[in-house]
């Protein structure tokens, strides 16, 4: 199974996807702390993160149907 990691292009792809996912998760955490620092209210943090989650979910559903002008990039 580890023989596929001999291919440089695959290793680059895996490491780039890992870095991208790590950045996405760090952004979510940073957004939560930023809202908490600005408002001081945990309810506002929940509201902002819920809106972010619904936006991501909506674009994923839009991209999954293959319709609309953003279907190619909405899942990214």
pLDDT in tens, 4-32: 888 899 999 999 999 999 998 999 999 99
- The pTM is what? 0.64
Give pLDDT, residue 61: 81
Q: What are the domain boundaries of the chain?
A: 2-65
State the Cα–Cα distance between residues 75 and 62, nearest whole angstrom: 8
């Amino acid at each position: 199974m580890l023989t596929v990691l001999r291919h440089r292009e695959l290793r680059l792809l895996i490491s780039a996807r890992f870095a991208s996912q790590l950045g996405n998760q760090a952004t979510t955490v940073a957004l939560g702390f930023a809202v908490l620092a600005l408002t001081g209210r945990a309810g506002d943090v929940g509201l902002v993160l819920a809106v972010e989650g619904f936006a991501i979910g909506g674009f994923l559903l839009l991209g999954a149907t293959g319709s609309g002008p953003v279907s190619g990039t909405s899942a990214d």
